Amino acid sequence: DLTLDVAGDIVLDADGADIILKDGGSTFGTLTNSGGTFVVNANTNINTKAGIHTFDNTDGSSEYMRINSSGVGIGTSSPSGVLDVRNGTTQQVIIGNSGSYTGSEYGELLFKESSTELARVKWNPSGNTFQLINKIAGPLTFSTSDTERMRIDSSGNLLVGKTSQGV
């Protein structure tokens, strides 16, 4: 049933069945109430329930992504950070473009506090440069086995096996 109620709301009631979306006679999606979960079915399912949004494959057997109050989880239903990416074998986060880097195009990962840029990891094709940039007055450190092994201090001094200049 399709009705316009006294409040001016359009109500579409399928009496428990799916609402089928068609264009030119071809189905391109459905809207479903599945046990209180609103499901939009196109190429993937988008489910919303109690502030949790999940994106599944078309038959609902695999969850691809979840958004909840903790963050966005890709490959996990329990994200433990703002963005949590997991996979059973290889984990990759790819920053790139769809062609070749040219001119002033670059890929980068920024670290910010409010609107202040603190640091960045950057690929700059001008000179084929990979950059680790600390934008604030602090050292750039390198560690293995959770122990600092080398640093470049804020004056540009390379320190190996020590954390300050001197003996």
Q: Mind listing the pLDDT tens digit for each residue in 77-115?
A: 888 888 888 877 776 777 776 667 666 667 788 888 888
CB burial readout 100-117, b (16+ within 10 A) else e: eeeeeebeeeeeeeeeee
Task: Identify the pLDDT of residue 71.
Answer: 85
**Separation CA 137–CA 117 (nearest Å):** 12
pLDDT confidence of 76, banded at 50, 70, 90? confident
Strand 140-144: give its sheet, edge to edge.
Answer: 140-144, 147-152, 158-160
What pLDDT, on the 0 to 100 scale, is given for residue 105?
Answer: 66
Task: Note the pLDDT of residue 26.
Answer: 72
Coil vs helix vs strand at 143? strand
Write out pLDDT tens, residues 12-55. Answer: 777 777 777 777 777 767 777 777 777 776 655 566 666 777 77
Query: pTM for the full model?
Result: 0.53
Model pLDDT, residue 45: 57
Task: State how beta strands 63-68 and 129-134 pair.
Answer: unpaired
pLDDT at 28: 66
